[in-house]
Amino acid sequence: MKFAIVIMAAGKGTRLKSKRAKVLHEIGGKALLRHVIDAAAQIVEPKDIFVVVGHQAGQVKSAVEATGVRFVEQAEQRGTGHAIQCAQSAVAGYDNLLVLSGDVPLLKTETIAQVRDFHLEQQAAMTILTAEPADPTGYGRVLRKSAGSAEVEAIVEQKSLTPEQARVREINTGIYAFAAEPLFARISALETNNAHGEYYLTDMAKLLSADGARVVAVKTGNAVETLGANTIAEMMQLDAAMRMETAQRLMASGVTIFRPETVTIDSQVKVGADTVIEPFVQLLGDTVIGEDCRIRSYSVLENATLADKVLVRQGCVILEARVESGALLGPYSHLRPGSEIGQEAHVGNFVETKKVKLGKGSKANHLSYLGDAEIGSGVNIGAGVITCNYDGVNKHRTLIGDRVFVGSDSTLVAPLVIGNGAYVAAGSAITEDVPEDALALGRARQVTKPDWATTRKPKKD
C-alpha cells in the first residue's frame, strides 16, 4: 500500500503577531516545519512528502527545499479541506494519505507509524489521531460510537458542544490517515457553511460515515507531542519541552548535564558518553561532541565538531570549527568558521582564530588573532601575535612550519612562510619569508639616552 504524506503549511498564524509564516518559527534549533518533515521522512521517502504552501510560499520553500520534499501551492487559503483539494492531482497514484500539520513539531515518527498501521489494520476510509490533554478546552472533541469502540460517530467543535459532550476529554489532533479513493470521491462535497467560510477536513468524517465508510480513531499515549502553538509564549513552552527531552535523552546515554534546565541544546546535537556539560552552555545546530569532554559554563558551540577528551573552558565561542582530541580551549577563546585545532593543542585567553589549521601540540595561549594560516606541530605563538591576512582588498595566507617560536607582540604580514624550527623575536613585524632554523627580527634597534629623564624634570626653587 503506497502512502503519501501531506503536510499543511499554508497558514499565516496571525495570532503569533509575527511577520514570519508560522511554520518558519523555530524551536529546538529548527523551524517547526523542518521538525515535522524530519519525522515524516522516517516513514516515507522525501519525494513522497508533499508540503502545502501558501502564505510566504517562497520563504517556506527556500527553508526546506534541501530536504527533497515536493510542494503544492494553495494560493488562496480556504481551509484544510481546500488544501487537500489542491493536493489531489499531486498525490494521484497513491493508495493512502497521511495528513500532518506543519506547526506540530513534537510529533514523533513512532506516532505517525501508529496512525498508519492502525489505519491499515482497521481497513478504514479515515483514521483520526486523538489525544487527552490536561486541558481540552478549545479543541474539537471526538465522539466514539460506543465506549471502547474504534469507530467514530462525530467530531464536534468546541463552540458546538452540548454540556454532556463537553465532558468528553478526547480531542481531534488534526492528524489523519485517509484511503485515497473514498476521500477524493467525496471531497468535492465539502461545504463552507461555517463561521469562517472554509472547507474543513474534519467534515470528511461525517461525509464518509454517511456513506457507510469506516471512520476510526486511535489515541496517542502522549498528548504533549500533538500540541501546536498559537502564541509565541506557547511556542516557547514547546521549545522548553523539546530541549528538556533532548537533555534527558543525552543523560540517559551517559552524558552529565549539570542544571539541565539552564542549558540550551538543539534537538540534533550529539554528545558522547562521559562528557560533562556545565550550566548555561549552548550547544546549537549540528554540533557533535565526543566522549570524555568537558564544556564549561557560558560556552557556545554552533555546528562545531569536538573529538574525545577536549576541555572547553568558560566563555568560549566555537562556530563551524573542528577540535581534535585532547585539545584545550579558553577561557574566552573564539574559534570562527574554518578553524581546525589539532590534537593536544592549546587556544587560550582571548585568542581568535579564523580559517586556521593549528598543528598537534601547538599553543596560542594569550590575546592573539590567527587568520588564514596553517600552523605546524609544536609551535609556540606568543601573546599578542597577529597574522595580518588582509591588505584592504584580498586575503593572504601565512604558513608556519613545525617547532616554530613566535615571540610576543609580533605581526606576521601575509603572504608569508616561516620555515621549520625558526624563531621570530618578540615585537617584530615580519614581512619576508623566514628560512628554517633562522632568527628573524623586524624591529628598530633600541636607543638608550642616559640621564635623559633627569634633564626633563623641573628645577626646584
Instruction: Give the fold, CATH level 3, of 244-440.
Output: UDP N-Acetylglucosamine Acyltransferase; domain 1 (2.160.10)
Distances (CA, A) of 295 to 184, 327, 334, 352: 55, 12, 14, 18
Which positions make up the binding site for Mg(2+)?
A: 103, 230
Domain ranges of the chain: 3-226, 244-440
pLDDT at 461 (0 to 100): 61
Write down the pLDDT at residue 194.
78
Please identify which of the residues 35, 119, 346, 366 carries the catalytic annotation.
366
What is the model's pTM? 0.89
The partner residues of 4 in beta bridges, in order of sequence, read 97
Residues in the chain, pLDDT under 50:
none
pLDDT of the residue at 455: 84
Q: Shortest CA distance to 218 belongs to which of 124, 139, 303, 296?
A: 124
What is the CATH superfamily name and number for domain 3-226? Spore Coat Polysaccharide Biosynthesis Protein SpsA; Chain A (3.90.550.10)
Query: Which residues make up each annotated binding site for UDP-N-acetyl-alpha-D-glucosamine?
Result: 22, 74, 79-80, 101-103, 140, 157, 172, 230, 336, 354, 369, 380
Which positions make up the binding site? 22, 74, 79-80, 101-103, 140, 157, 172, 230, 336, 354, 369, 380, 383, 389-390, 408, 426, 443
Q: In whole angstroms, give the CA distance from residue 66 to residue 41.
A: 13
Which residues are documented as binding site for acetyl-CoA? 383, 389-390, 408, 426, 443
Give residue-wise pLDDT tens across range 208-249.
998 999 999 999 999 999 988 889 999 999 999 999 999 999
Q: Which residues contact 24 (CB under 8 A, 6 or more apart)?
A: 31, 32, 33, 56, 59, 60, 63
Q: Which residues contact 392 (CB under 8 A, 6 or more apart)?
A: none
Note if 366 is an active site residue: yes
Grouping H, G, I as helix, E, B as strand and the rest as coil, residue 454 is helix
d(CA 277, CA 254): 11
pLDDT score at 457 = 78
How confident is the model at residue 158, as a pLDDT? 83
> Which residue reads 474543513 in cell numbers?
200
